[in-house]
Amino acid sequence: MPFTILDPVVYEEDIKKSRFQAYVIPVETEEDVKMTLEEYQDHSTTHQCWAWKIGHNVRINDDGEPSGTAGRPILATIEGNELTNILVLVNRWYGGVKLGTGGLVRAYGGTAGKALLLAEKIALVEKIDVYFECNFSEWPILQYELLHQQIVFTQEYLISGVKISAKIQHHQQSELAQKIQDVTRGRERLKGVDHDR
């Protein structure tokens, strides 16, 4: 069973006069990664190296450090902890002492690993993409239901009403589908993006 983390974590340590700071952040999509990297951009750092994994997709970035000395060891700690849907960003402020390639691998991998030890691991619950439409008058009731079930959603206002896209867990499907049928008096139903175009 794959795991992710519950909340973001930060860890910091000094290694041979360089300061290393690791952020461990849960993410669900590549768009999440992009927005998070923009949010955490820090121009005071010498290097901002990172690795992320979402499902089977992985990316690494050495950000000017010698190839394979930063992003790869960070990714190795993610995979070694059997984690997914996670971004680990390690900032380095150079302190004047060169660490060498082995030292860099240990520093980046070690800082990432210590940050991951602080994170609370949780089982990753697979979510499915769904969508539905409703009238403007029905939307407040259905919006309340989505918020009540802590479902992540986006809404698009159309001339005819509101189109809602959401990510739900399997166990939420029947209750939400029933609510949509009840509120729209059977006119609308919950549709899965993957199989109900």
Please, what's the largest Cα pairwise distance for the chain? 70
Report the residue count for the chain.
Answer: 197
H or E element, residue 113: helix 100-118
Task: List CB contacts of 137: < 8 A, sequence separation 6 or more.
Answer: none
* pLDDT tens per residue, range 9-68: 999 999 999 999 999 999 988 988 999 999 999 999 999 999 999 888 999 999 999 999
Q: Does residue 167 surpass a pLDDT of 80?
A: yes
Between CA 180 and CA 97 the distance in angstroms is 62
Instruction: Say what the pLDDT of residue 3 is.
Output: 84
- Complete domains list, the chain, with CATH: 3-123 (3.30.230.30), 127-192 (3.30.70.240)
Locate 11 and state its tokens. Answer: 């860890």
pLDDT digits (tens, 9 = 90+) for 82-93: 899 999 999 999
Report how far residue 90's alpha carbon sits from residue 112's, in angstroms, rounded to the nearest whole number. Answer: 7
